[in-house]
Structure 1
């Protein structure tokens, strides 16, 4: 017996010694891609100081340009994956510090009802139209989340819940970039066409445009009051990320998971962190300096993650294999525009 115990102990020690180098090797393997993505995020932040465009949008475009104009070395893959998932989730948690419940509630019940309708009707329409088009459930859910809630961040949040394929995630993000960018000139133009005032135009832009960055660009083109309303309405849509992700996770547990060990949590940890940060901001516990530093860190982390996600946007493959996804994205954009226009006409912003 002592000999057997000694042999077992020796084997356990050898396993521990071999595990440590493998962990260090894994970390070393992530460093090149992580360094590249951090650099891409930093460049996007610097460019946003000069260009009238958000750092997040610049980061996605930089990554997509590299992916489509030159090969991306495979050695970068582990670090890129880390940036696109872990750093993104940390950025989403910090995004909660931008949301104050009192500010959102100050929009009035009518505007909040419009926000809920925009998210739920667009999300539901995507699922129905996607099934009619024959798209797989993960692809439908990714596009539904991206176009109804908050663009690429919502796509990435959904990916961790539905276990989508990498090409499905890249397709959804590419479509968000494409149609969201089109909304930057289209939003102000439609507001002017139907005779909306500046604040109502801002509400429409915030309710209908996919990315926070795109909302800032479109609202800023109309005016300061439009920008303030647009961002607040958009952040109210971002707040819908938590209940929608919880609902998606619950659905996947019931319908698309066989073994309990494979089931996604009803509320992913980063979504719980997002809610906690909203409550912290609403309680007024943090000084303005801390909130400003958190906003900078959040923008940098999200820009880094967007650069990593942009490296997965291969436009040629999207247009070659994603024709039905393109149709669904166009339909989703039309749906949310119509709901937002009708809602803004019926329930204009207070003040």
Structure 2
């Protein structure tokens, strides 16, 4: 029952402000999934980002993205990204990862840690500011845009500052789809080795599938298991970053209290592990039990596609090509260097797995 004072008014106003942008994002997801079904080589999530970039740069839809759609698109880019991360956990079974063997798991962890630290070093070398190097390192070494969203949450990074890292992880993952299959035979890789290389070195899950499937079912199966092993590292790396961020905030608070006579109120600290990352871990545990029917897993995969696709369309709609060309050249070169580093580390790990 609606109260006479208009208790439903705030909800209705929120729905009116978010509705147009969310509807546009969901429509873009539908188009992305359709394109993927017609051209399996194109990951739906990559298509969603490209559609978002096109929408904000084409004259016909630019005004909509900057006007009535903006609030809904920003909401999708932040909150639906987190929903998608939770459902991503349903893809992971710890049993599949343990079947790789401890040596392979250790090598995959080594690739992630070395690529993460190496990309951070490249960020300092190229003098990138703010959280950009950290976000690029997280997205490239773990699981693309999903990892960027999780790291941004614990760092308190502004929504607009995640746009460039997401664009770069999409760019490099798309390049991988076209380039890595051409290198399989020259590098002397078997289908199994190629799948392991793709799983260890390509960023987003959809990009991994699109790249590995070109070498057949064996390559695809190996790539997915190796990739999902990397995804498991999302929670511990984000947890460590969250703990360091809280410690930094606590030290800054102590310093302010020590240098001022006025009372300093404690600010709200970022979470050590965000609630949606805990949801991700809960979904991993649930999938590992084997209790879920296949229909539930498929429904979760669809929910993930819808949520992440809408989020990526929202983030893509913040990428203005002219501004990107003016401000993102150094970051682009740095990202390409990181991509080459990760591919090299993954290639070395594959050969160690085979010995």
TM-score between both structures, scaled by the size of structure 1: 0.90
Confirm or deny that 1:214 pairs with 2:204.
no
Partner of 1:313: 319
Partner of 1:55: 44
Q: Report Cα offsets for 1:128-162 as digits up to 9, x if no partner.
A: 22123222241111111111111111112222222
**Take 1:66 and 1:33, find their aligned partners in 2: how far apart are those partners?**
12
Residue correspondence of structure 1 range 205-244 to structure 2 within 5 A: 205-244=198-237
Partner of 1:148: 141
Partner of 2:346: 340
Confirm or deny that 1:29 pairs with 2:17.
yes
Which 4+ stretches in 1 moved above 6 angstroms? none
Confirm or deny that 1:130 pairs with 2:123.
yes
Evaluate the alpha carbon distance shift between residue 155 and residue 315 of structure 1 in structure 2; reply closer, same or farther with a 3 A threshold: farther
User: How far does residue 313 in structure 1 lie from its aligned partner after superposition?
Assistant: 2.0
Confirm or deny that 1:69 pairs with 2:58.
yes
Partner of 2:102: 109
Query: Which residue, 190, 199, 202 being the options, matches 2:195?
Result: 202
**Take 2:22 and 2:138, find their aligned partners in 1: how far apart are those partners?**
26
Evaluate the alpha carbon distance shift between residue 334 and residue 256 of structure 1 in structure 2; reply closer, same or farther with a 3 A threshold: farther
Q: Report Cα offsets for 1:161-213 as digits up to 9, x if no partner.
A: 22224443111111111111111122223332221111011000110011111
Query: Which residue, 287, 291, 296 being the options, matches 1:290?
Result: 296
Partner of 2:155: 162
**Take 2:178 and 2:26, find their aligned partners in 1: how far apart are those partners?**
30
Partner of 2:258: none
**RMSD, aligned CA:** 2.0
Moved more, 164-173 or 121-130: 164-173
**Take 1:177 and 1:38, find their aligned partners in 2: how far apart are those partners?**
19
**Take 2:157 and 2:325, find their aligned partners in 1: how far apart are those partners?**
19
Contact 1:173 1:313 in 2 (8 A): no
Three-state SS of the structure 1 residue aligned to 2:267 is: helix
**Take 1:346 and 1:218, find their aligned partners in 2: how far apart are those partners?**
22
TM-score between both structures, scaled by the size of structure 2: 0.89
User: How far does residue 231 in structure 1 lie from its aligned partner after superposition?
Assistant: 1.2
Contact 2:78 2:159 in 1 (8 A): no
Partner of 1:267: 273
Contact 1:191 1:204 in 2 (8 A): no
Query: Which residue, 308, 326, 330 being the options, matches 2:332?
Result: 326
**Take 2:322 and 2:112, find their aligned partners in 1: how far apart are those partners?**
30
Partner of 1:8: none
**Take 1:93 and 1:166, find their aligned partners in 2: how far apart are those partners?**
19
Q: How many residues align?
A: 335
Contact 1:42 1:304 in 2 (8 A): no
Three-state SS of the structure 2 residue aligned to 1:193 is: coil
Structure whose residues are more often helix by fraction: 1
**Take 1:167 and 1:78, find their aligned partners in 2: how far apart are those partners?**
13
Contact 2:86 2:277 in 1 (8 A): yes
Structure 2 runs not aligned, ≥5 long: 254-265
Structure 1 runs not aligned, ≥5 long: 1-13
